[in-house]
Structure formats: structure tokens, C-alpha cells
Amino acid sequence: MASALGPRAPLPLARLRGARALAMAPPRRFALELPGCGLAHFAVGGDTPGARLDPRVAALLGPPGRSYSLCVPEAPGGGCAARVRAARLHQRLLHQLRRDPLRRCQLRRLLCYGPGGGAGGVQRGFLLRDPGDSPDTRRALFSLLGDAPGGPRLGEFVGDARQQVWQSLWELRDGAEWRQVGPRERVLAAPEPALHPVVPDLPSSGVFPHREAARAVLEACIPFIPEAQAVLDLVDQLPEQVHKGKFPVIAVEGLDATGKTTVTQSVSDTLGAVLLKSPPACISQWRKIFDDEPTIIRRAFYSLGNYIVASEIAKESTESPVIIDRYWHSTATYAIATEVTGGLQYLPPAHHPIYQWPRDLLRPDLVLLLTVSPKKRMQRIEGRGVERTREEAELEADSMFRQKVEVSYQRMENPACHVVDASPSREEVLQTVLGIIQNNFS
């Protein structure tokens, strides 16, 4: 596949217009995840005299070596279906970048967003850094992206010894030849926004504020995930609103291997309560299918599972207490921890609306959050030998992801989580939990 490495022909009128449009467009901003879970923000384009580039960014974008940006755009006005397509393309791109010949390169999470922030303006992607600056890397990217028309946008960074960096954009023309689009643009420092760039997008990408938002995602998945229709058939049988009965409803949350199964079963037996799980049994057969999908699809599945469970809670709580093994808090915390890049400082602040319970979802009377030390949790995981979800495996491998999940749990409101130390013996933990329940319902 040819690339424009020799002298260039005169630019056609359409391309000149495109170059002028790029020059007049507002600067694109990027958030790059750094080693140590920091984030660095930089802008491409615009005119900001004296905005010296962060040396950490210059080191990752400039020489020695060469770096490329790959950001996945959403079709303008495409709505939920466009978000789903972009998320699946982003996931597929990640898998491809981890294969030969590109697996030898360094890969970092990268976000592209507009200077004004707001929902709907974030493009998710990657920074690919080739320390050896091999021409094979560019050719491999051309080949990879040439097979994905309308896919990721490819940018290439070049720098000098003074830590000045520029970006050029590449475009596949007529499906046959890669050429640079418009003039190269200077990379400059950018201020850190008040909120992480993905936070305004969370209600449409994983922390769904109501049932219809999650339903729209699964509806967009029907053409390529037939099981989505089966889930929707169950959801559409539910009443619009359900109400809790006279008996207490208690949700038990916590990371994998914190003792939820043991505690929920023991409390259920002691109180004569009905034990429910989310996702419920009627859709658990499809859990593995949705666990392999991007966050927006995976969380839509779990969100709708919560609404199915809510219908069961409404029925059972008229006759007896109800204990739930995981509920909405799990769905929300894992989505937040996955989507918000960087460390704990980039999470939405306490009391942010993202931590509020959905208004159309039946609310428990009490939420217990079981916690254990990382060492204790690892010992329990190693002793279980059961199959884990992708997110559970990430909890084990990525301590920052685990911390973001824990902090997100602790920031949940209406209802908040009552933290329970689940490190002692089973009997001690059970007595602690029963004491909290008695204090709340006596």
C-alpha cells in the first residue's frame, strides 16, 4: 500500500478546503494516561504562545522513537447506535494493537475531546509509541486501518531536540493511498479540565440514569448480539414502575472474594429472607457473552438485569425480607472505574450526580459494602479456583482499578454504603452484619 513519502502533487481544491477547515477548527485536546496513573493534557492546533509542553508528554511524543495517535470517532448524530459501534471498534482495535507486529510497541490510553467539554465530544483511543522508530510500524498501521474504513483517525507525532512536537494527520484516499491531510500542527500544553473528560458522557456510556437509556443500548446490539433481543423481551414484560413491599430490602456489595456469597446466604438463613442475585438467573446464561463486550454494552446488560431483579424484589418483599447479592452500586462503580482513566484524583468528586441512585429503579433500604485487605482477598481468590469475569481479573492485576472501584463504592449516595470489615471469621462478620440490620430496622 503506497504512502506519500516523495514529492507531493498540487493539492486539489477539495483538499485545500479541508486544510483550511483544519486550520480554522478549534484546537483538539487530548488526555494521555502516563506511567504511575497520572494524566497529561495537551492540545493540537490553535495558537497559545508560551504554552510549554509538559516534558513528560514531550518525552512520549518526540524523539527518540515515534508515536502515533489512534482515536475512534462517532458518526455525527448517530446516537446510541454510533456509540455502540465506536465502542466495539475501539475494543477490536485494542486487540489488534496487541498482536504482532505492533505488540512490540508501547500502548497507552488516549482521549480526544473538545475544548468546551460536555457530553458527546469524547473520542477514545490509544497512543502507540515505537521506541525504535521502525518504518514497519507505520506500514503496519496503514494496513490495519485500511481494513477498517471509517475507523480510527491516525495521527503521527514528530519532535525536535528542543522538545517541540507537531502532529500530522493521515488519510486513506480513494481506498488506495495514504496521504497526510493539511499542514502539521503544533502540540501545546493544555489546562486540566475541572472534570475528567469522560464524566459528562458516563450517563450514556455506562452509568445509565434510567431503564430506557440502557434499553436503547441493547436494542442497538440486536444485529450482532441476538441474545440482546432475548434480554429485551424479558425487560419489556416488566411494569414501568414497581414498589417495595413492607419487609426490608438489603443489598450486599463488595469486590470479588470479599465474602458476599457467604454473608448473603447466612443472613438469608438467619432472617428467613429471600435471597436474590443480580444479574438474575433468567439472564445469567448470557452473562459471558456480554462480559466480552465493551463497557457500554456490558453495563447495559447489568443495568437491565437490575430492573428485572427489582421486579422480583417488589414481589418477594410483600412476604418476607429480601437480601440481594449485588445490585445497582456494582453496576455503576465498575463502569466509573473502567471509563475514568488515570488515578483516584480523576474520579468524579463526592456528591457528583453520577453517584445518585436511578429514580426509576426500586431502592433498597440498606446497602452493606464488604471490604477486606488486598492480601486477604488474593488469598481467597487463589483458594477458590473458579472462573472469573474480565473485570474480576482486572481487579486482581490492577491495584489502581481496584482502588477506583472501592472509592466509587464509598461515594455512592441515596442510599450510601455501610462499610463492613469482612476480614474476621465468618461468624464475627455475620454478627456484625446482623447488628447493623437490627439497628436500622428495630
Distances (CA, A) of 12 to 3, 17, 24, 171: 17, 9, 19, 15
Averaged pLDDT score across all residues of the chain? 89
Q: Answer yes or no: pTM beyond 0.85.
A: yes
d(CA 410, CA 358): 17
Contact, 341 vs 124, CB < 8 A?
A: no
Instruction: Tell me the CATH number of domain 204-441, given options 3.30.300.210, 3.10.110.10, 3.40.50.300, 3.40.30.10.
Output: 3.40.50.300
Domain ranges of the chain: 22-189, 204-441
| pLDDT tens sequence across 179-212 | 999 899 999 999 999 999 999 999 999 999 999 9
d(CA 253, CA 260): 7
| pLDDT tens sequence across 213-243 | 999 999 999 999 999 999 999 999 999 999 9
The number of beta carbons lying within 10 Å of the beta carbon of residue 424 is 12
Helix (H, G, I), strand (E, B) or coil at 323: strand
| pLDDT tens sequence across 52-63 | 888 999 999 999
Residue 285 grid coordinates: 446464561
